């Protein structure tokens, strides 16, 4: 009972603060800066101390005011950042972060680009310093969500309505100029950084069932993670197909990417399963996460090492490496089948090589050439 009274008192005090801030903005509502004052008032109303979600009318009002006021986006970014920096109330902080997220999702491409520029220039800041000393789950979620948005600013919605990373010019990879290599060495690390920020926003012991604000924020985060995960899978498939065409340093970098993906695939699978249980929104279309085991990565590393030390110009078939490693894994784990629903799974296959190999004795005599079967 005492907790309910305290919450009501906090809400009442917060409401008074909101009215005072709005009144102050109205006082400076001069004709030459009326549009800016209206933007500030709309931000204050959208991020009030009440428990309700951000009203669509405030979102539409902000977008309308900004579109009709050239040069107002840096001002909007500053007012949002100020609101987030000054508040000590978790609901206000969450609503302010959610406002940033919705603006990134709801504006046109030109608006997104200007908002991204405001972040690069320092006008838009997502500081949660007010909650750094707090160890409660709510404060931890706020910090994780803010870190996610810091990464999200580096992504844009393309004409097809899908997320894609904003790639800056000047990043080159020597002789690699093909689109497939660009996907591997530029986009895949961006996808992995994005997924890491999503994994930090776990709902376990953080989002109560009745908390619509936090769940709405997490739903938008999950939806965006679905798109990025699909892009990640496409890139991993390209990486595997081109692996033996890469130079040795590039193969080492590719193996590092696969190791990170191996860890992420298991954690992302667990996160989605948790969200399916605790989230009220049951209409989310979760992708089927393909778990990549470290056995698969080790198989590629063994093939890469063989290529680096062998005088043969033809690498061993990838299926042979995986099959051999699978046998060793089964022996080492006492019958563990090591099965995995992964795109890297393959069946055993026997191939006959037409290459004749000549064996040389110590005394210099040559033996009869013989054909070798490669299994």
Q: Which domains does the chain have, with CATH numbers?
A: 1-139 (1.25.40), 158-167+175-306 (1.20.58.150)
The contacts of residue 331 (CB under 8 Å, 6+ apart) are: none
- In a 3-state reduction of DSSP, which class is residue 175? coil
pLDDT tens digits along 71-96: 899 999 999 999 999 888 888 999 99
Per-residue pLDDT at 134 exceeds 90: no
Percent of the chain beyond pLDDT 70?
Answer: 66
Q: Specify the pLDDT at position 35.
A: 75
pLDDT tens digits along 262-308: 999 999 999 999 999 888 777 899 999 988 888 878 887 787 776 66
pLDDT-based confidence at 13, cuts 50/70/90? Answer: low
pLDDT-based confidence at 54, cuts 50/70/90? Answer: confident
C-alpha distances in Å from residue 307, one per residue of 244, 272, 288, 311: 9, 38, 34, 8
| CA 56 – CA 18 distance, rounded (Å) | 19
| CA 37 – CA 327 distance, rounded (Å) | 70
- In a 3-state reduction of DSSP, which class is residue 310? coil
pLDDT tens digits along 182-213: 667 888 999 999 999 999 998 765 655 447 78
Q: Strand pairing partners for 360?
A: 366
Q: Strand pairing partners for 15?
A: none
pLDDT-based confidence at 244, cuts 50/70/90? Answer: confident
Q: Specify the pLDDT at position 252.
A: 86
| CA 323 – CA 349 distance, rounded (Å) | 8
């Amino acid at each position: 009972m005492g907790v309910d009274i305290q919450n009501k008192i906090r809400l009442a005090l917060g409401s008074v603060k909101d009215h005072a801030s709005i009144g102050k903005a109205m006082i400076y509502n001069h004709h030459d800066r009326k549009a800016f004052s209206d933007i500030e008032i709309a931000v204050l109303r959208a991020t009030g101390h009440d428990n309700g979600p951000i009203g669509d009318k405030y979102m539409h009002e902000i977008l309308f005011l900004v579109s009709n006021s050239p040069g107002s986006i840096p001002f909007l970014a500053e007012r949002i950042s100020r609101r987030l920096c000054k508040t000590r109330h978790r609901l206000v902080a969450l609503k302010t972060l959610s406002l940033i997220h919705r603006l990134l999702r709801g504006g046109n491409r030109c608006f997104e680009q200007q908002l991204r520029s405001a972040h690069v220039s320092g006008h838009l800041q997502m500081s949660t310093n007010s909650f750094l000393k707090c160890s409660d789950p709510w404060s931890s979620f706020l910090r994780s969500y803010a870190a996610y948005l810091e990464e999200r600013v580096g992504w844009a919605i393309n004409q097809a309505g899908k997320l894609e990373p904003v790639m800056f010019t000047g990043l080159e990879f020597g002789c690699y100029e093909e689109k497939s290599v660009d996907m591997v060495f530029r986009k895949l690390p961006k996808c992995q950084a994005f997924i890491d920020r999503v994994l930090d926003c776990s709902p376990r012991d953080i989002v109560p069932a009745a908390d619509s604000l936090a769940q709405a924020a997490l739903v938008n985060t999950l939806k965006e993670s679905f798109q990025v995960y699909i892009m990640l899978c496409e890139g991993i498939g390209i990486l595997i197909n081109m692996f033996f065409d890469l130079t040795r340093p590039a193969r080492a970098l590719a193996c590092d990417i696969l190791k990170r993906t191996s860890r992420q695939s298991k954690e992302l699978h667990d996160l989605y399963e948790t969200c399916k249980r605790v989230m009220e929104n049951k209409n989310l279309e979760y992708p089927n996460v393909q778990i990549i085991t470290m056995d698969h990565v080790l198989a590629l590393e063994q093939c890469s090492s063989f290529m680096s030390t062998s005088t043969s110009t033809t690498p061993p078939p990838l299926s042979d490496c995986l099959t051999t490693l699978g046998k060793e894994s089964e022996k080492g784990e006492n019958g563990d089948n090591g099965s995995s629903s992964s795109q890297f799974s393959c069946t055993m296959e026997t191939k006959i090589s037409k290459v004749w190999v000549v064996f040389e004795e110590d005394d210099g005599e040559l033996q009869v050439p013989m054909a070798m079967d490669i299994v």
